[in-house]
Amino acid sequence: MQTDSSFTFVLFGGTGDLSMRKILPALFEAHRAGGMLADSGKIVAVARHAADRGEYIQWVNEHVKPHVSKNGVDETAWSSFLERIEFVKIDLGNPEDFALLRDAVKDLPGIRVFYLATGPSLFVPICRALASVGLNENARIVLEKPLGYDLKSSNAINDAVGEIFAEEQIYRIDHYLGKEPVQNLLALRFGNALFEPLWRREWVESIQITIAEELGVEARGDFYDNTGALRDMVQNHLLQLLSIVAMEPPHSMDSDSVRDEKLRVLRALKPINPLDIGKVAVRGQYHSGVIRGTAVPAYATEPGVKPNSTTETFVALKVEIENWRWAGVPFFLRTGKRLADRVAEIVVNFRAVPHSALGASALRAGANRLVIRLQPNETIRLYCLAKQPGEGMNLASVHLDLAFDQFFREGQMEAYQRLLLDVINGRLALFVRRDEQEAAWRWVEPILNEWKASNKPPKPYAAGTWGPAAASAMLAQHGTCWLEEEN
């Protein structure tokens, strides 16, 4: 992915955690690879926690280096990367300071990219301040999640930003869409005749999508306690992954063709009846427990969390899509903090053969399945049955692996690296369009409202487990179980 596109990349929140862990490391990897970033491209960090460029570069050396290049830092590449970086000290609460930014970038070449690695409360003030000094022309704006607290607040942000930037200038980022296995899911489905005929209700029994974390809320207690797992993960990451899995083949891979098909999936989600929420939605909150031999505290005792908090740290949902391809196929979504393992995966369970002359093992659920692992290691694994060596026709489960780091010699591109290059080069396909976001909020809101109205506390689960038992019981009602429970 090479480019000659000159750019000025303006990073708001330039000293923040996201900038240190993800954004600047991703830009460095693109720089180090050579040819991905135009030589003339500049990075302008905006913050108020550094006095000048020298202090900011020292900050970057201390906080970014630990997150780049797993095999060590190429000091020559690192030094040349730092030469790309400029710094502007701005108080984002003072619109008059944006004249300093205008003066800093006015002579820099290429398209301007404004990356808002800040809280959503600052999105609208920053956009208005940019417009006040004429920086909304020849520009692209990147918005991090969460974009609002509900449909109303999301629309308010989108309306205000939309008055300043056209929709084709707005890049709503969801880093899961930039992961290599998600891209390969599109390649598997739409580049091979093998899977497409099977990718439908006649041959698929159920689909599971899991994003599990071992970590708790860390230093984000104040934010998380006002957000919860449904807003933080389901409304965006999980529903975006579901739409990729379930979408119809687009007529091309241009941005609107892909996003049109995802939107059709989101609009086809079966609305959840408030009376059925207890059957198809499980919310939980972690209590104290042990993870990999280390005792961890309960959510309610985490810094910044209210002691009597009813915020959910775990959600499991049964979702249905009302269209011809997927009618009747349950999609089970799950996410949580302080779970037994850090894993993100998509599991496609195919139906058993209708009749077996080879014994009952060929009829068991899950004999044929596709497991797309997004993290920690990125792989795609296809399970099928084969005869065991020896006498008799005894079947055993075997699998075919596509391990990207072993099959492809060139290094994998991290999700943020791919997405940032797409912004610089004007590719919108992997970013969320406004109507997608609205459709996701419309589907999620009744669940939020019912949980709030019922005032029932989340179900407890011990840290280091896979969540409340009710999540397993929900799948058992459909004659299936979560993937890890089969082992």
Residue 256, pLDDT score: 92
Would residue 422 count as lying in a domain? Answer: no
Residue 405, pLDDT score: 66
Residue 253, pLDDT score: 87
Residue 359, pLDDT score: 67
Structure tokens at 224: 């998380």
Q: Are residues 136 and 186 in the same domain?
A: no
389 pLDDT more than 90: no
Residue 485, pLDDT score: 92
Q: Which of 285, 180, 189, 182 is nearest to 229 (CA)?
A: 285
Is 107 known to sit in a ligand binding site? no
Final residue belonging to a domain, choices 120, 144, 168: 144
Q: Are residues 107 and 248 in the same domain?
A: no
Render pLDDT for 311-335 as a digit per residue (tens, 0 to 9): 999 999 999 999 999 999 999 999 9
Is 89 known to sit in a ligand binding site? no
Q: Are residues 368 and 226 in the same domain?
A: yes
3 pLDDT more than 60: no
Segments forming the whole domain that contains residue 193: 177-402+434-486
Would residue 172 count as lying in a domain? Answer: no
Render pLDDT for 155-179 as a digit per residue (tens, 0 to 9): 999 999 999 999 999 999 999 999 8
- Least confident segment among 179-188, 202-211, 226-235, 331-340: 179-188
Is 175 known to sit in a ligand binding site? yes
Is 48 known to sit in a ligand binding site? yes
Domains contained in the chain, number: 2
pTM, 2 dp: 0.92
Residue 83, pLDDT score: 96
Q: Are residues 388 and 449 in the same domain?
A: yes
Render pLDDT for 54-86 as a digit per residue (tens, 0 to 9): 999 999 999 998 888 666 788 999 999 999 999
Q: Are residues 383 and 282 in the same domain?
A: yes
Render pLDDT for 437-461 as a digit per residue (tens, 0 to 9): 999 999 999 999 999 998 899 999 9
Catalytic, out of 49, 63, 67, 237: 237
Residue 338, pLDDT score: 97
Please list, residue by residue across 383-411, b when 16 or more beta carbons sit within 10 angstroms of its beta carbon and e when fewer do.
bebeeeeeeeeebeeeeeebebeeeeeee
Final residue belonging to a domain, choices 93, 119, 144: 144
1 pLDDT more than 70: no
Active site residue 237: yes
Residue 218, pLDDT score: 85
Q: Are residues 137 and 204 in the same domain?
A: no
CATH number for the domain that contains residue 112: 3.40.50.720
- Per DSSP (E only), the strands in 221-330 are 281-287, 289-291, 294-296, 314-319
Residue 294 Rama label (left phi>0; alpha psi -120 to 50; beta): beta
Render pLDDT for 212-234 as a digit per residue (tens, 0 to 9): 999 999 878 898 999 999 999 99
CATH number for the domain that contains residue 471: 3.30.360.10
Q: Which of 437, 434, 362 is nearest to 394 (CA)?
A: 362
Final residue belonging to a domain, choices 144, 161, 196: 144
Would residue 417 count as lying in a domain? Answer: no
Would residue 220 count as lying in a domain? Answer: yes
Confidence of residue 362 (pLDDT cuts 50, 70, 90): low
Q: Are residues 111 and 197 in the same domain?
A: no
Q: Are residues 70 and 189 in the same domain?
A: no
Query: Rounded mean pLDDT of 22-45?
Result: 93
Render pLDDT for 392-426 as a digit per residue (tens, 0 to 9): 777 878 888 877 667 666 667 889 999 999 999 99
Residue 33, pLDDT score: 87
Would residue 89 count as lying in a domain? Answer: yes
Would residue 155 count as lying in a domain? Answer: no
Q: Decide: 404 and 180 in contact? Cβ < 8 Å.
A: yes
Would residue 327 count as lying in a domain? Answer: yes
Q: Are residues 137 and 183 in the same domain?
A: no
Q: What is d(CA 279, CA 277) in angstroms, rounded to the nearest whole number?
A: 5
Q: Are residues 201 and 81 in the same domain?
A: no
Q: Are residues 351 and 233 in the same domain?
A: yes
- Please provide the distance, in angstroms rounded to a whole number, between the alpha carbons at the two ends of the chain: 40
Is 220 known to sit in a ligand binding site? no
Query: Rounded mean pLDDT of 346-373?
Result: 80
Give the 3-state secondary structure percentages of the chain, helix then strand then coil, rounded to 5: 40, 20, 40
Residue 228, pLDDT score: 95
Is 334 known to sit in a ligand binding site? no
Residue 71, pLDDT score: 63
Q: Are residues 99 and 214 in the same domain?
A: no
Element of type H or E holding 85: strand 85-89
Render pLDDT for 282-317 as a digit per residue (tens, 0 to 9): 999 999 999 999 999 999 999 999 999 999 999 999
Looking at every residue in the chain, the average pLDDT score rounds to: 91
Would residue 423 count as lying in a domain? Answer: no
Q: What is d(CA 84, CA 253) in angstroms, rounded to the nearest whole number?
A: 32
Residue 384, pLDDT score: 86
Query: Rounded mean pLDDT of 250-271?
Result: 94
Is 92 known to sit in a ligand binding site? yes
Q: What percent of the chain has pLDDT over 90?
A: 72
Residue 2, pLDDT score: 47
